[in-house]
Chains A and B, each alone.
Chain A
Amino acid sequence: MRVPMRVLMRVLMLMLMVALGSVGAVSLGAQGIRITGASTSRFVQLRPMLTDSVPESAASTTDGLDRLLQDGTLARCSGDGFCRYFRAAPPTQLMALMQDVDATAWGFGRGVSARAELRFREAFGGGRSLWPQAQQQLDVLAAYVDVDRERVRARLGRQWFGSELGFRNFDGVLVEAQPLAALVSVRVEAYAGRSLLQGLARDLTSDALATIEELPPDSRGILLGGALRWRPAGGLGAVRAQYEREIRQDRAGLYSERASAAATLRVGRARLSSEVVYDFAAGVFNEARLRARHPIGHGMDISAEGRHSAPFFPLWTIWGTFSPVGFDEGLVDTRWTSPGARLTVSGRGAYRRYQETDAGVASLPLRTDGWRLGGSVAARLSDAWLAQGGYGVDVGSTASRSDADVMLRWLRSERFSLAARAAAFETISEWRVGTGRVLGAGADVSIAIRPDLRFAADAMLYRQRTAGRTLEGPWNQRRATVRLEWSIGSDPGASARDGAR
């Protein structure tokens, strides 16, 4: 697998852009500039599906549109003498490159700074077409000017923020103010701008969506929203309420209208948290969650959660009109930590029941509930050795899985660590790995070469022990990642940059 010249050229172009940006920032009078980057190279083996066919005579059953083959594979015989089915294609492999660059320049004036977050990606190899967004080489995730004063903060440009309503990317302005700081700890937020695709920072009408959806949105979106945040004195808790609507740019309607509220409250030693997300268009609560955590002494704490969850779909899709239902779930988890935190043991369990669908046929019922069980152990064997293990099982209506992971890590110093990993998993009721069980083993290493330069790499090897149809093919794969994190430029006051934050 050779790195094509065009990839090298694009990497050089990106570096040139960063350099020019730095020079530009300095020439504009920036007091300082800091650039951090993460260069990731990932080797992936994949085994895609393809359509195959056999003569109708090969089907074990002789009538009907859908017939079974000898090994139990269902094939569709559409009357042209052949039955068609999906089977595993030969393995293919690719190398995916991702370069994140964040640049921050400050000192243009009191509290004024500028920030840019760029992501460059490329993939090459036989399976390049299988990698998401391989055609989109550069994303400008953020590029904004930030003004940060005592009571007011404002951002102008391409930006993102996270909230209960999800992670939003938009081109516009965000203002956060604390108008009555002396009286009450209330913050007011307001934002407006052109909405972008989440995580890609591209227009709703761009190719990113149009290539995979025949009925994409035909108008750009305008995002409008606001929030109130109150944090009472004494650390009792905090409350935040938010309202947001996404309007078609042609004003013909809305893409979404939602509101959310989140609160945390400390009652004695217990901590309560709740979230509510409401979709005005569908008239449903996408999330309603109440969670309580309480320490019960001797290093043990327990938490319980009640949750209602229903999916959200924007109004440029028809999915919401199909009356999707949600589920109600109860969850309990507990954790024990030994004195000195040498050993941590945790366990969790959850049960969920779906709402009535008013669909399907009574003679072919689908499972309408699900449950989860799991536990983990983390032991610090010595100052240098850390062991972890975990197991979980998740049984649901359309997919189920059972998996286990173990890891032994050697922390030679704060700068070097080496770990061996093993994993085993089984997916049930799914069509890819089917009845097989996958075992994996590998290692990862992390080296902080300097405070501003860190190298990390991992490699895993997977082997499938099939017990199902041979047509699925063995799901054997190799995966590896090499990552280099670096930073250059001055540091506006931070003294400990060696940890991931």
Chain B
Amino acid sequence: MNPTRPRLRFRRSARGLALLLVLAIVSVTSVGWAWGVATRADSSPFPHQAHARLFPVCETCHEAIASPDSSRHFPSAVSCAECHDGTRLKRVPWNGRRAHPSNLAFAHGSHQQREWKETPAPTCRTCHAVGDTATFMAVDRATPASCQQCHAHRAPDHLARENTCSQCHVPLTRATGLSDSTVAALPVPAWHDTPDFLSEHSPRAAGDKLQCATCHARESCARCHPNATEVSRTAAVASDARVARALRGVAPEYFTPPSHGRSDWASVHGDSAKGRPATCASCHAQPSCATCHIGRGAARQIARLSRPDPDGARGVRLRITPVDVVARGAVLAFPHATASPTSRHTRDVALATPAPHASDTLPTLVRIHPADFGDRHGASASSGQLNCLGCHEERTCSSCHNGGSRRQFHAVNFMSRHGASAAGREQECASCHTTETFCRECHRGQALASTGARNVVYHDRQPNWLQQHGQSARLEMQSCVSCHQQRDCTRCHSDLGLRVNPHGPGFDAARMSKRNPQLCLTCHLTDPLRSRR
């Protein structure tokens, strides 16, 4: 067995593959060159000036220029072959002009047949002459600027905002001859990039709709507007499969209205939603609302919005970042919003460059609630100003108020720092914790709570604590209660103890006794208010 044989076989195979590769490249290049030559020949401009002495008038060749059939606007191959027969003159690759797809509304016939009153009737050279117009057959294809010579455009250029597109162009949906690539490559006017374009682009008059329809179809609207098929303004726009194909995968674009920038927008947007639901529906579909409104709150208003078509726009997408991810004091959520002008139309040809959906918007941080809301939401929640259950599960409350502390409501290791906060009642501990059970049990477990033993001193930084404790107790009774039982106090402050009166000067014994007479008997052997009753 020869161990080198497989290697040789491999080398031969590699050589053969390389040869095949070279042949393939050469073939493809040759075909491409030939195709390019043919294409170039088909579209090469006719050397008009070389024929200037041969043809006295344009109509010699463009006899049927007034015909609506553009294939008859040019001479036939037979006409050229009368001279270019291969004997007298070399043959030319002209096979006759095919119909030229266009979205122009221009017709040579109408310009010829019209009665010109104020201006002289245009000739061929009016639109097609280049350079010195006196030179016969120094012509080229007409440009938009040629049209603007007569059509009195005040705009500086073809794509200026002031232009009336429909004067020269038919709606895109009627320009059926345009290919997908041509539709996708339609130029984007510079004024579409202005900061206020998105907020101002809604067509208000019939003329505006025609203006938009020159380049857009219903799919253009449906790219961003989830209600495009429901609103008459957009539903009336014809659909176009080429636009649909060009826009497939192109991300929607949204802007943030000034009203949404209000610091309290999250709280007050419900009023706008009730008053002007159609405005909301322009950018928002039901999933936009359902991001936050998981409960029954605002169900009626949400039902007015459209359910997004799987192939259409989903509307502004909101995202919620878990509160415990961004932690205390941080931004609570970053939903939608976009629209830095620089973020849009970063290429001249907007439709030809689909962008991934992930980059459709610039995430903007929006606080649903103020930064200190976690500490100060009592009045809002209690007064019903915020319909909490519209956005929150019930666990939202209980995870903090039932002691679950899911959300890092307190700072890290609050267990060790909570003394000052509790004493100063920065947040009311009793709104979440039963001080009797929650605080005292924990303090007792760590031997902080009083056990009643009097042979050891705990308030060890206060040598004169006995003289001070009365004042301290009245200042911070809740702190005392977190360690001491009632019995610790009644040892001195009761009829069975040292009978030290703990009541302050304003103490209204009758008031408390009226509501619970047994309270008095905790310390007094007999009802001290019996004579008053």
Q: Is A226 an interface residue (CB 8 A)?
A: no
Q: Is A170 an interface residue (CB 8 A)?
A: no
| Cβ < 8 Å to B, chain A residues 303-333 | 309, 311-313, 315-325, 333
Write out the residue numbers on chain B whose beta carbons fall within 8 Å of the beta carbon of A321: 502-503, 507, 509, 512, 519, 523
Shortest distance between the CB of B250 and any CB in chain A (Å): 22
Question: How long is the Cα–Cα vector from A119 to B406 in the complex, in angstroms?
Answer: 13
Q: Are B402 and A141 in contact (CB under 8 A)?
A: yes
Q: Is B287 an interface residue (CB 8 A)?
A: yes
Write out the residue numbers on chain B whose beta carbons fall within 8 Å of the beta carbon of A141: 398, 402
Q: Are B324 and A48 in contact (CB under 8 A)?
A: no
Task: Give the size range of B's interface with the partner.
Answer: 35 or more
Q: Are B268 and A359 in contact (CB under 8 A)?
A: no
Shortest distance between the CB of B58 and any CB in chain A (Å): 61
Question: How long is the Cα–Cα vector from A119 to B405 in the complex, in angstroms?
Answer: 13
A425 with B416: in contact, given A235-B268, A274-B379, A498-B320 (CB under 8 Å)? yes
Q: Is B115 an interface residue (CB 8 A)?
A: no
A378 with B457: in contact, given A291-B379, A400-B420 (CB under 8 Å)? no
| Cβ < 8 Å to A, chain B residues 366-418 | 366-367, 370-372, 376, 378-385, 391-399, 401-404, 406-407, 411-413, 416-417
Chain A positions 192 through 231: 1 when the CB is less than 8 Å from some CB of chain B, otherwise 0: 0000011110000000110111110000000000000101
Q: Are A212 and B329 in contact (CB under 8 A)?
A: no
Chain A positions 269 through 290: 1 when the CB is less than 8 Å from some CB of chain B, otherwise 0: 1010111000011110001010
Write out the residue numbers on chain B whose beta carbons fall within 8 Å of the beta carbon of A229: 383-384
CB-based nearest B residue for A394? B420
Q: Are B321 and A239 in contact (CB under 8 A)?
A: no
Q: Are B380 and A494 in contact (CB under 8 A)?
A: no
Q: Are B511 and A335 in contact (CB under 8 A)?
A: no
Write out the residue numbers on chain A whose beta carbons fall within 8 Å of the beta carbon of B346: none
Question: How long is the Cα–Cα vector from A280 to B474 in the complex, in angstroms?
Answer: 19
CB-based nearest A residue for B442? A132
Q: Is A466 an interface residue (CB 8 A)?
A: no
Shortest distance between the CB of A453 and any CB in chain B (Å): 13
Partner of A388, one of B329, B467, B507: B329
Name the segment of A6-14, A23-31, A84-92 touching the other chain: A84-92
Q: Is B489 an interface residue (CB 8 A)?
A: yes
Task: Give the size range of A's interface with the partner.
Answer: 35 or more
Write out the residue numbers on chain A whose beta carbons fall within 8 Å of the beta carbon of B63: none
Question: How long is the Cα–Cα vector from A131 to B446 in the complex, in angstroms?
Answer: 9
CB-based nearest A residue for B404? A100
Q: Which of A75, A238, A432 has the most CB of B within 10 A?
A: A238
| Cβ < 8 Å to A, chain B residues 404-463 | 404, 406-407, 411-413, 416-417, 419-426, 428, 430-434, 436-438, 440-442, 444-449, 453-461, 463
Q: Are A390 and B329 in contact (CB under 8 A)?
A: yes
Q: Is B179 an interface residue (CB 8 A)?
A: no
Q: Are A132 and B425 in contact (CB under 8 A)?
A: no
Shortest distance between the CB of B292 and any CB in chain A (Å): 8
Q: Are A280 and B263 in contact (CB under 8 A)?
A: no
Chain A positions 388 through 403: 1 when the CB is less than 8 Å from some CB of chain B, otherwise 0: 1010001111111101
Question: How long is the Cα–Cα vector from A100 to B394 in the complex, in angstroms?
Answer: 13
Q: Are B324 and A407 in contact (CB under 8 A)?
A: no
CB-based nearest B residue for A166? B431
Partner of B474, one of A324, A380, A425: A324
A66 with B463: in contact, given A49-B446, A130-B446, A496-B291 (CB under 8 Å)? yes
Question: How long is the Cα–Cα vector from A312 to B512 in the complex, in angstroms?
Answer: 13
Q: Is A177 an interface residue (CB 8 A)?
A: no
Write out the residue numbers on chain B whose beta carbons fall within 8 Å of the beta carbon of A281: 511-512, 515-516
Q: Is A109 an interface residue (CB 8 A)?
A: no
A495 with B287: in contact, given A66-B463, A322-B503 (CB under 8 Å)? yes
Q: Are A360 and B383 in contact (CB under 8 A)?
A: no
Write out the residue numbers on chain B whose beta carbons fall within 8 Å of the beta carbon of A423: 411-413
Q: Are A397 and B380 in contact (CB under 8 A)?
A: no
Question: How long is the Cα–Cα vector from A255 to B518 in the complex, in angstroms?
Answer: 10
Question: How long is the Cα–Cα vector from A456 to B215 in the complex, in angstroms?
Answer: 51
Q: Are B413 and A460 in contact (CB under 8 A)?
A: yes
Q: Is A349 an interface residue (CB 8 A)?
A: no
Question: How long is the Cα–Cα vector from A231 to B116 in the complex, in angstroms?
Answer: 70
Name the segment of B75-83, B196-204, B241-249, B476-484 touching the other chain: B476-484
* Secondary structure call for the A interface: strand
Shortest distance between the CB of A342 and any CB in chain B (Å): 7
Q: Is B470 an interface residue (CB 8 A)?
A: yes
Q: Is B232 an interface residue (CB 8 A)?
A: no
Q: Is B26 an interface residue (CB 8 A)?
A: no
Question: How long is the Cα–Cα vector from A494 to B363 in the complex, in angstroms?
Answer: 22
Partner of B426, one of A164, A346, A372: A372
Q: Is B177 an interface residue (CB 8 A)?
A: no
Write out the residue numbers on chain A whose beta carbons fall within 8 Å of the beta carbon of B497: none
Shortest distance between the CB of B453 and any CB in chain A (Å): 8
Write out the residue numbers on chain B whose beta carbons fall within 8 Å of the beta carbon of A380: 331, 365
Write out the residue numbers on chain B whose beta carbons fall within 8 Å of the beta carbon of A425: 413, 416-417
Write out the residue numbers on chain B whose beta carbons fall within 8 Å of the beta carbon of A38: 404, 406
Question: How long is the Cα–Cα vector from A395 to B271 in the complex, in angstroms?
Answer: 43
Q: Are A199 and B516 in contact (CB under 8 A)?
A: no
Question: How long is the Cα–Cα vector from A239 to B383 in the complex, in angstroms?
Answer: 5
Q: Is B87 an interface residue (CB 8 A)?
A: no
Write out the residue numbers on chain B whose beta carbons fall within 8 Å of the beta carbon of A275: 378-379, 382
Q: Is B322 an interface residue (CB 8 A)?
A: yes
A409 with B325: in contact, given A254-B515, A358-B504, A501-B392 (CB under 8 Å)? yes
Q: Are B379 and A264 in contact (CB under 8 A)?
A: yes
Q: Are A76 and B455 in contact (CB under 8 A)?
A: yes
Q: Is A18 an interface residue (CB 8 A)?
A: no
Q: Is A73 an interface residue (CB 8 A)?
A: yes
Partner of A200, one of B364, B407, B434: B434
9 sample A-B contacts, Cβ–Cβ < 8 Å, listed by A number? A115-B394, A162-B431, A260-B382, A313-B477, A321-B503, A321-B519, A359-B470, A360-B471, A394-B420
Nearest 10 A/B pairs, CB to CB = A323-B504, A499-B320, A360-B471, A253-B516, A341-B365, A324-B477, A359-B470, A74-B460, A401-B420, A130-B445
Besides A115-B394, A264-B380, A281-B515, 7 other A-B contacts (C-beta < 8 A): A199-B401, A253-B518, A262-B382, A321-B523, A359-B473, A394-B421, A499-B320
